[in-house]
Amino acid sequence: MTDSAELSAAAGADPVAADRAAAPFSSVAVIGLGLIGASLAAALADKMPDVRVFGVDTDAATCATAADRGWCAVACGPDDPAFRAFVEDECELVVIATPVAAVDDYLGRLRDWGYAGVVTDTISTKGHILAAAEALLPAPARYVPGHPMAGSEQNGIAGARTDLFEGANWILCPDERTAPEDFQHLHEFVRGLEARVVSLHREEHDAAVAIVSHVPHMVASSLMQLASAHADDTGSIMRLAAGGFKDTTRIAAGSPKLWCGIAFDNAEALGEGLAEMAAILESFAAALAAGDRDTFTRLLAEAAEARRALPAAWVPSTEKLLEVRIPMVNRTGVVAEVCTIASSVGCNIQSIDIDHISEGNAVLSLILTDEGDVGQLSLQLINAGFSVSFSPIMPKEYAHVD
């Protein structure tokens, strides 16, 4: 999607039509057509129908389903010569959406086939793939780690949904080597799926998701272990389970094999998170044993306050868009640095544009929605040595941009 398309969309034009105007990549390989890969292929077919999607999966029935549903132009096994031909001849973006165990095989193939285009992934952990991409890819700087924070407890193509990523956060981890244009195109790609980009330092990814995704999964599994241990043959205790129990345990139904792979690729951060979790449970138990109602209430109250403060789904106001312009003179990694700072203060970048002024001299233009702390953004950008200018954008201005 072009920035002008985004701008028109912001002004109320048909965003779907705008998305269809120009997809940032015209040919995409999606490797792994399970819940996430097939949902991605389905969303591309729906929202960017001009993109040629080439699907790869080791399961022949999955490939047949993806092709039958029109989600992939072609879907085949990894050893089909058509896959290599697609990568060598026309592929502009490779998305790896397999379990982490399959990563080396595909990175090795990309190396052997001399693929020097953009690569991203959807893998829940970055421990392994970061090192493998560095070691194997012919152009490691063009690998931008990705992770959609959306999914479900279902597995395989049977659980895939066209709308899975709508409104979801999608982590991208550019670094100082990431070309501004590669990040811009990936940002447009994710926005075209109607997801929201959150930029994160790649070294921080695994510790962050351990707390909000991997520890919660193990806690949900532990709750089911607890309930199962108390279930009798008639399963009557399970019939007592109310909404709260079901809310907190839904994810425990996820694939044990997939989650074991995730856990072991993030063993250190997960181990630390589980130890902290055990200590928190222990503090409830200790307060109970000591008859310490104050401590017990405080623990509950702190949690309740934090839960109520979780951001609800945000509907950005199209009346309050803000443009930030940042000169990029002889600085590598500007886009990565600026976008990561913006995400860290809760700002949502709706679109990115790069105005090339002369060789090595460009202006980065970001359109922000009305989320986050713009004061902090300004402060942190200035502290990082950027010269920034902010200007509010009137919806009418957007409507006239081609």
Ligand X SMILES: NC(=O)C1=CN([C@@H]2O[C@H](COP(=O)(O)OP(=O)(O)OC[C@H]3O[C@@H](n4cnc5c(N)ncnc54)[C@H](O)[C@@H]3O)[C@@H](O)[C@H]2O)C=CC1
Ligand Y SMILES: O=C(O)C(=O)Cc1ccc(O)cc1
Q: Enumerate binding residues for ligand X (CB under 6 A).
A: 31-37, 56-59, 62, 78, 97-100, 102, 105, 122-124, 148, 151-152, 155-156, 255, 258, 262
Please, what is the minimum distance in Å from the beta carbon of residue 264 to ligand X?
A: 12
Q: Which does 213 bind (CB under 5 to 8 A by kind): ligand Y, ligand X, none?
A: ligand Y
Nearer to ligand Y, 3 or 153 (CB): 153
Torsional sign, CA 344, 349, 352, 355: negative
Please, what is the minimum distance in Å from the beta carbon of residue 190 to ligand X?
A: 13
Bridge-based pairing state of the strands 118-121 and 361-368: unpaired
Name the β-bridge partners of 53: 28
- Identify the residue whose tokens are 């120009």: 22
**Region class of 125: left (phi > 0), else alpha (psi between -120 and 50), else beta:** beta
Site string for ligand Y, 74-113 (x = CB under 6 A): ----------------------------------------
**Residue 225, Cβ density class (10 Å: 0-12 exposed, 13-18 middle, ≥19 buried):** exposed
- Identify the residue whose tokens are 């996430």: 36
Please, what is the minimum distance in Å from the beta carbon of residue 310 to ligand Y?
A: 13
Please, what is the minimum distance in Å from the beta carbon of residue 205 to ligand X?
A: 12
Q: Which does 192 bind (CB under 5 to 8 A by kind): ligand Y, ligand X, none?
A: none
Bridge-based pairing state of the strands 321-329 and 361-368: antiparallel
Which one, of 130, 135, 378, 99, lies nearest residue 254 by Cα?
99
Nearer to ligand Y, 33 or 251 (CB): 251
Q: Which does 156 bind (CB under 5 to 8 A by kind): ligand Y, ligand X, none?
A: ligand X
**What is the secondary structure of 337-367 as a DSSP string?**
HHHHHHHHTT--EEEEEEEEEETTEEEEEEE
Please, what is the minimum distance in Å from the beta carbon of residue 65 to ligand Y?
A: 21
Please, what is the minimum distance in Å from the beta carbon of residue 60 to ligand Y?
A: 26
Q: Which does 36 bind (CB under 5 to 8 A by kind): ligand X, ligand Y, none?
A: ligand X
3-state secondary structure of 117: coil
3-state secondary structure of 235: coil
Instruction: Say how far apart CA 344 and CA 341 lie, in whole Å.
Output: 5
Q: Find the helix or strand (DSSP H, E) in which 94 lies.
A: strand 93-96
Assess 151 for contact with ligand Y (CB under 6 A): yes
Nearer to ligand Y, 55 or 151 (CB): 151
Site string for ligand Y, 186-225 (x = CB under 6 A): ---------------------------x------------
Please, what is the minimum distance in Å from the beta carbon of residue 218 to ligand Y?
A: 12
Nearer to ligand Y, 27 or 122 (CB): 122
Q: Which does 341 bind (CB under 5 to 8 A by kind): ligand X, ligand Y, none?
A: none
Please, what is the minimum distance in Å from the beta carbon of residue 39 to ligand X?
A: 8
Nearer to ligand Y, 141 or 253 (CB): 253
Q: Are 154 and 35 in contact, with CB atoms under 8 Å apart? A: yes
Site string for ligand Y, 225-264 (x = CB under 6 A): --------------------------x-------------
Assess 328 for contact with ligand Y (CB under 6 A): no
Number of residues located near ligand Y, criterion CB under 6 A: 8
Assess 152 for contact with ligand Y (CB under 6 A): yes
Q: Are 188 and 356 in contact, with CB atoms under 8 Å apart? A: no
Look up residue 143 and give its DSSP letter. Answer: B
Which stretch, 91-99, 149-157, 179-187, 379-387, contacts ligand Y (CB under 6 A)? Answer: 149-157
Number of Cβ atoms within 10 Å of the Cβ of 84: 15
Look up residue 312 and give its DSSP letter. Answer: P
Q: Are 31 and 56 in contact, with CB atoms under 8 Å apart? A: yes
Instruction: Say how far apart CA 99 and CA 97 lie, in whole Å.
Output: 7
Nearer to ligand X, 148 or 372 (CB): 148
Instruction: Say how far apart CA 150 and CA 222 lie, in whole Å.
Output: 22
Binding site for ligand Y (CB under 6 A): 124, 149-153, 213, 251
